[in-house]
Chains A and B, each alone.
Chain A
Amino acid sequence: MNITTEHRDEITIVHAEGRLDFGNAKSFQSAIEPLFEQTEGHTRAIVVNCSQLEYISSAGLRVFLVGAKLANKNAMGFTVCNLSPLVKDVFDISGFGNIMPICSDLESALITVKDA
């Protein structure tokens, strides 16, 4: 799984590419956890762009759960966008829509998160 980050006016966009499963969930967690610790107005929100993410399992979901908790704790916005049908199904069935906003594309995600 490849991760690249991009900054746009105080929002960190994480581009996730590939698959997120039991094998690489831990390294994904290690990669995004530090992003939540950035304080002093550097980042106010994090958006995960899943347009290139083709697969996610429960292991990956748990990382997002951790992310959502950290976002809450640090009063940061956190959302995902551009989910493929399968990935969206997985998010939906586990009720993640209640934990964090799921947006269809990047623009709406940026807007949603700014307002948070």
Chain B
Amino acid sequence: MTDAMIRIEDLHKQFGDLRVLNGVDADIRKGEVISIIGPSGCGKSTMLRCLNLLEQPTSGRIVIEGEEITAPGADAPRIRQRMNMVFQSFNLFDHLTVLENLTIGPLQLLGKSESEARKKALELLHTVGLAERANHLPSELSGGQKQRVAIARCVAMDPDVILLDEPTSALDPTMVSEVLAVIRNLARQGLTMLMVTHEMEFARDASSRIFFMHEGRIHEQGPPDQVFDHPQSPLTRAFIQRVRSHVVSIDSPDVDIFAIHGGLEGFCEKHLITRDVALRLDLATEELIALLLPGLESLKQFELRAEYSETDRSLVLSVNLPASFDNPLDGTDIESELNRQVLAQAGGEIDVVRRETSYDIQVTIRQQPSAQQA
């Protein structure tokens, strides 16, 4: 009880009629790296912002190192100096150079001397790999570079806790990894960190604990292995699964093939699926759509879901159809025969799973290329 560095008790936050936080309880120990995941709008960012009093909680207590920061007379600016935040939109000070961004806090708020602050700043810039940009203005940096500077700016204040609010969400995928590397580094140094993120692989890799939030509460929490691979609650399971899957929704005969291919490509990249397998997924998707399009009039809409399971590294493309709908795989007309053949080629196994009022067609994409070589 007493070794908790941060204790959150029954935290509530309301914006007008909208209840965003509905009773959050948590204990965070020093040195922990906690990733907060969950669907959009469940209060993840709000909780983070309550921690450094950017938002005032409607009720509840937050105690940091024995000091209750939610007490009426609390000195918010001083408290905030001990916990710094990295923002989704970087928020570097545009009129200051990179170096000045790092030194202004220590100079003005911590009373450091000019030379002390400069020295520390240059060291930090070095650790994030941006020492030669010290005299550049933020407008001259790329997104990834800006975020790295933002992280360095945080660390320059010697905070006890670092809060990261979706630090990579606004970044080009090519720059995400450089920022994650810096964050990983910080985690290794033993800094206490709370991060809201959608980067599941990273969360799994770098965190000591995961908070899964749902509708304003911490629904489930635990070590990454548990939350990701053996979630105890169905809600958690559903979320993890959803995050691991990609949905293609067809509701009109005008199919935007480019968007579909692009989406699948992104999904595959994210899960580091090989190009060969990604192409097969593409192919299976295209053929399945072609088989289902004639039935669109009666179906109105159908959803293909691509799911990737990390544990057994399998990629499954599935679609759920009402029992009344004739299974397109059973068709015999010549027109669609080609589609069926190619679909069979792209996938490995094709299963039909029957349920009460519907059935699933599941295509498992082969991991190995076929035995036939040219």
| A residues whose Cβ falls under 8 Å from a Cβ of B | 21-23, 54-55, 57-59, 61-62, 83, 85-86, 88-90, 92-95, 102, 104
Contact = CB atoms under 8 A, between A and B. Distances in A.
Contacts of B346: 90
B370 A55 contact: no
Nearest to A82: B374
A93 B280 CA distance: 14
Interface of B: 255, 257-258, 261, 276, 279-280, 282-283, 286-287, 289-290, 338-339, 341-342, 344-346, 369-370, 372-374
A85 B338 contact: no
Contacts of B286: 21-22, 57-59
A90 to B, nearest CB: 5
B338 to A, nearest CB: 4
Contacts of B342: 57-58, 61, 90, 93-94
A22 B338 contact: no
Contact of B341 (A93, A102, A104): A93
Given A88-B374, A104-B374, A21 B341 contact: no
A90 B370 CA distance: 10
A114 B370 CA distance: 31
A86 B369 contact: yes
A54 B279 contact: yes
A2 to B, nearest CB: 16
Contact of A57 (B283, B369, B372): B283
Given A23-B258, A90-B283, 5 more contacts: A58-B338, A86-B279, A86-B283, A90-B342, A94-B341
A21 B29 CA distance: 54
B339 A58 contact: yes
A14 B341 CA distance: 26
B255 A93 contact: no
A86 B276 contact: yes
Nearest to A84: B374
A22 B260 CA distance: 11
A21 B338 contact: no
Nearest to B277: A86
Nearest to B373: A85
Given A21-B286, A22-B255, A55-B283, A85 B341 contact: no
5 contacts: A21-B282, A21-B286, A58-B286, A88-B374, A89-B369
A92 to B, nearest CB: 6
Contacts of B276: 85-86
A21 to B, nearest CB: 6
Given A55-B283, A85-B370, A62 B338 contact: yes
B279 A92 contact: no
A89 B345 contact: yes
The interface centre, meaning the residue of A58, A62, A85, A94 with most chain B CB atoms within 10 A of its CB, is: A58
B341 to A, nearest CB: 5
The 5 closest A-B pairs by CB, nearest first: A23-B257, A93-B345, A58-B338, A58-B342, A57-B286
The interface centre, meaning the residue of B257, B282, B283, B370 with most chain A CB atoms within 10 A of its CB, is: B283
